[in-house]
Amino acid sequence: LSWLNIEKIKKSHANCFVIEDESIKSIQVFSEHTNRVCSLLPTKGVPSMLIAGFTMHRIIDTDPMQDTLQKVATIAPIIGTVLDTATGLGYTAIEAARTAQHVVTIELDPGAQQIASLNPWSQELFHNPKIEQVMGDAFEVVPTFADAYFDRIIH
């Protein structure tokens, strides 16, 4: 990695990067499903996702992980089967899977899933056997589960 690229990374406050063949590439995709740009936004803690320029986590006076921990705490105790209706970067599903027996997480946008796959803090989403990822619209996916299937539901 060249010093020039290191300087570009250092100066960027709105992009996270992946290194490919000694060059840097902004972690960003255009979603043909939603016609929106998805990208990874650096913060003081773990990254947040931007969709069409809007952050998917609270980042003022907090960071995405603290935001996630506070959201998950609202449905404590995290037990049984948990439904996460918007996967995003997977922080909620990952945190819920620490104590839940099973987590079903639904993501509408393949672009968001692609961004999550490039985020180091999202890797457990793809490797934890307690987490089941479902692609689709939660409005259509949720009715495919039996009544009272979920013990906890979070968005």
Q: According to the model, what pLDDT value does residue 12 have?
A: 86
Range of the domain at 23: 3-154
From 21-25, 44-48, 65-69, the region with the lowest mean pLDDT: 21-25
Whole-angstrom CA distances from 49 to 84, 85, 132 are: 16, 16, 21
Q: Say whether pLDDT at 154 is over 90.
A: yes
Instruction: State mean pLDDT over 91-99.
Output: 98
Instruction: State mean pLDDT over 109-133.
Output: 98
Separation of alpha carbons 113 and 105, rounded Å = 11
Sign of the CA dihedral 23, 29, 32, 35?
negative
Q: According to the model, what pLDDT value does residue 63 have?
A: 94
31: β partners = 36
Q: Say whether pLDDT at 22 is over 90.
A: no
Q: E strands along 8-151, which residues?
A: 17-20, 23-26, 28-31, 36-41, 48-51, 54-55, 81-84, 102-107, 131-135
Q: According to the model, what pLDDT value does residue 124 have?
A: 98
Q: Say whether pLDDT at 118 is over 90.
A: yes
Q: Say whether pLDDT at 114 is over 90.
A: yes
Q: According to the model, what pLDDT value does residue 65 have?
A: 96
Q: According to the model, what pLDDT value does residue 107 have?
A: 98
- Position with higher pLDDT, 107 vs 2: 107
> At 13, is the pLDDT very low, low, confident or very high (cuts 50, 70, 90)?
confident
Q: Looking at the 3D structure of the chain, how many domains does it have?
A: 1
Pairing of strands 48-51, 54-55: antiparallel
Q: What is the mean pLDDT of the chain?
A: 95
Q: Say whether pLDDT at 21 is over 90.
A: no
Percent helix, percent strand, percent coil in the chain, to nearest 5: 30, 25, 40
Q: The tokens of 60 are what?
A: 């003022």
Q: Say whether pLDDT at 17 is over 90.
A: yes
Q: What is the pTM of this model?
A: 0.93
What CATH number does residue 45 fall under? 3.40.50
